[in-house]
Structure 1
């Protein structure tokens, strides 16, 4: 797989995903575990790429050195950001760190705070005006809170026309806007959520190849439901379904389908609730049809809104599920991936929901944010190691070249920021409970809770 050159060369590994176990307002959906959350946010991250063939060098960052008089620049995360020095790339990063420290007369320190304490320390520092670090990794929902209250610098306030992030973005790339502006940044990467499928079941049942459907422009909601119905079977004629069309956490798929239909359940840019958006309603109608009407979903726990259902696909008897690379580490399934099917109002620019991603921010209270960012960007100005961002990571997760191509060319960087969880008491999970467990119609459920949803967003406020 090393011979492929799908995207431009980069210096760093994969984009942090966002992908943490979700909290909830309902009984079933509050099952998220802190340990799982920490695993998800770090599983797609590494401080350095693995050793691979070095290719063309990146363009140098043009920056005049500034003597900062021995100042300490602190970088924080809930894992160790410091390069380990055990690979060629991490050694190069350590050498670059030393060169940057000398150039600017600074000391770079890495603050590693356990996940359970991290958000508290970050928030306390933000409120006090004394940030825990000059540059911090934060979850997007926490960044939204800080952005809405004016406690974060915008990218436009600390980057320049010469910054790599505003040009080739080989070293850094902008993350999607929050609160209507750009605040977050990260190293380039190619990861993301998609609709995964069990190749063995597709072969056993003679189901149409999903990647072929996608490439032919036929992969939409109707075809998705059609395949799910075809895959739900009693294969041994004992009167019990033993093959299922889909398995997974209903709330998770609901978000992805809404995004793939161009809908935001909570629009952080406008401050308006999106539960009553017809595009969201259409996504929830499909969820209801899958779980309650056509009954093509395996519900292992007996609870249709149970968070732990996201792992039910590992039983090996479900054809499709919502997935990301980090979920597949302990399974031997031969799986493939395609983007989530687009809804009638969807576009290929947004194919999945990013509700718990994370990235770097520079909080207000940090002195000389422009110089701090300049130093941070230069830390990663080393010869490129991979032929494209996340190459080694993806090749370690996928068995088939066509799956890697699908991620790189059609899934990566197509996430829609979806931050309903950032708003305390936002009733998304309650609506899901009403629809799936209480058999309330979708329109009645969203109408019942729309004022509650808007109140939750108004309470957080908009800058």
Structure 2
């Protein structure tokens, strides 16, 4: 049984229900790239309807006036620029009024988008068409039409699980070779941002810019810590003292038998393993499937597994894994069963709102802090790359002009990002401004690691279950057994 995939999908269905207000009728996701991220519907946490990946906070651009247009006009000969996605998109050249979008909720921004379409049509003598190919259809189109030399679309939206293989197999154009020097992508990055990863040998994927809401972090029960006389982890982080040693020390201190019945009823830590592994690993300069070679056996990643083994099996300061109920692991914090946990913004808000609906607030104050720095850390805070990313396929003629038109199309707000980005929902997930700022900080530096999206490799079965649940393998035994499985999966993935 694919333990991690089944449980992750179950958790994400809860997330999809919570943020359905932002989906505006788009099709529901079949799968996902990471915990707490709905990558296939194109729904984003910033309330925009475009398929953005929200990792970098932006400020309004200095240039806002119509007459300060950075994009030179040219005649594109009536060409239609086709963008392949997997839902119905608004607004394009096919639309004549803002009410064409049945889910339109903001008439002002809707009109701005539609007006921008008309402006681009006139300026470049072209049309913008979004083609709803469906999820399977877009994968087939990328793998067949591009390889045949006649790409069906000029631009494709991709999920990382098929966007990365497309790049690896030479199906995408290198953006450094085609993007105009005056573009925003390699400039201020107010409109678009590149996916920068050394494993790809250049920049091939890009996305709409947005505020950084996709970071991962630890939540903690500050009321409980204060009662124990512990220093605030945020203060330790600011002083550079939030380390694995301190994390382990706090977890031990928070593990208690509060009613003296001989049974531990509060654990220092508890949560779900995808975020725990990513948080500890990325803040220890490790990886599992960041490139073509397996990273399970690297020193940095093995150190992560040793810490997990220490907390779950030796210190016993981590709440035992509930193999039958994913949500029990995810939400035990809201019942006061753990002092620290793998926090997600939507879950914080969900549980706080649920308590209010029952007539009272949560009986404690919660805060967040980055995952602690490990012994191999470079002292920067990282989160995994998520979301959807565009690519321009090989074979598209005048790709630089296509990109310029698309970038201007996405700049319907003229650099006023307050029109695009709505942080109100995200900010409502936290109890203090300091935590909102901390959450943003956790989402600024991103790392690409495909271990949760890799067909043929199940981390739950190969690493987590043997070490944490069944406790029938040591770390070294589990890693040695899983290495060839992961490498075979990577070899197959990069050959797609």
Q: TM class by shorter-chain length?
A: 0.7 to 0.9
Q: How does 1:25-174 map to 2 (within 5 A)?
A: 26-27=2-3, 29-33=5-9, 36=13, 38=29, 40-41=38-39, 42-47=43-48, 56-58=62-64, 62-78=70-86, 81-82=89-90, 84=104, 86=106, 88-111=108-131, 117-118=134-135, 120-129=136-145, 133-174=153-194
Q: 1:350 to 1:212 in 2, by over 3 A?
A: closer
Q: Does 1:417 align with 2:448?
A: yes
Q: Once superposed, what is the RMSD of the aligned Cα atoms? A: 3.1
**Distance in 2 of aligned mates of 1:112 and 1:211:** 45
CA drift at 1:77: 4.2
1:167 alignment partner, SS class: coil
Greater mean alpha carbon deviation, residues 70-79 or residues 153-162 = 70-79
**Distance in 2 of aligned mates of 1:151 and 1:308:** 43
**Distance in 2 of aligned mates of 1:111 and 1:310:** 38
CA drift at 1:390: 6.0
Q: TM-score, normalised by structure 2?
A: 0.77
2:428 alignment partner, SS class: helix
Aligned to 1:183: 204
Q: How does 1:422-461 map to 2 (within 5 A)?
A: 422-426=453-457, 428-429=459-460, 430-436=462-468, 437-461=470-494
CA drift at 1:125: 0.2
Give the alignment partner of residue 377 of structure 1, picking from 399, 407, 411. Answer: 407
Q: How does 1:209-220 map to 2 (within 5 A)?
A: 209-220=232-243
Number of matched pairs: 427
**Matched-pair contact (CA < 8 Å) for 1:350–1:414:** yes
Over residues 260-287 of structure 1, what are the superposed CA-to-partner deviations in whole Å (9 max), with x where a residue is unaligned? 110111231xx11111101000001111
Over residues 50-81 of structure 1, what are the superposed CA-to-partner deviations in whole Å (9 max), with x where a residue is unaligned? xxx98854585522323334333333445554
Aligned to 1:406: 438
> Larger RCO: Structure 1 or Structure 2 (Cα < 8 Å, ≥ 6 residues apart)?
1
Structure 2 runs not aligned, ≥5 long: 17-28, 30-36, 51-58, 92-103, 353-361
**Matched-pair contact (CA < 8 Å) for 1:44–1:326:** no
**Distance in 2 of aligned mates of 1:54 and 1:159:** 22
Give the alignment partner of residue 267 of structure 2, picking from 244, 248, 273. Answer: 244
Q: 1:110 to 1:216 in 2, by over 3 A?
A: same
**Distance in 1 of aligned mates of 2:427 and 2:78:** 41
Q: 1:87 to 1:316 in 2, by over 3 A?
A: farther
Greater mean alpha carbon deviation, residues 65-74 or residues 31-40 = 31-40
Q: 1:275 to 1:383 in 2, by over 3 A?
A: closer
Aligned to 1:336: 367
Q: TM-score, normalised by structure 1?
A: 0.82
Aligned to 1:4: none
Give the alignment partner of residue 358 of structure 1, picking from 377, 388, 392. Answer: 388
CA drift at 1:106: 2.5
Over residues 227-256 of structure 1, what are the superposed CA-to-partner deviations in whole Å (9 max), with x where a residue is unaligned? 111122222223333322222122431222
Q: 1:389 to 1:176 in 2, by over 3 A?
A: farther
**Matched-pair contact (CA < 8 Å) for 1:228–1:246:** yes
**Distance in 1 of aligned mates of 2:105 and 2:128:** 16
Aligned to 2:322: 301
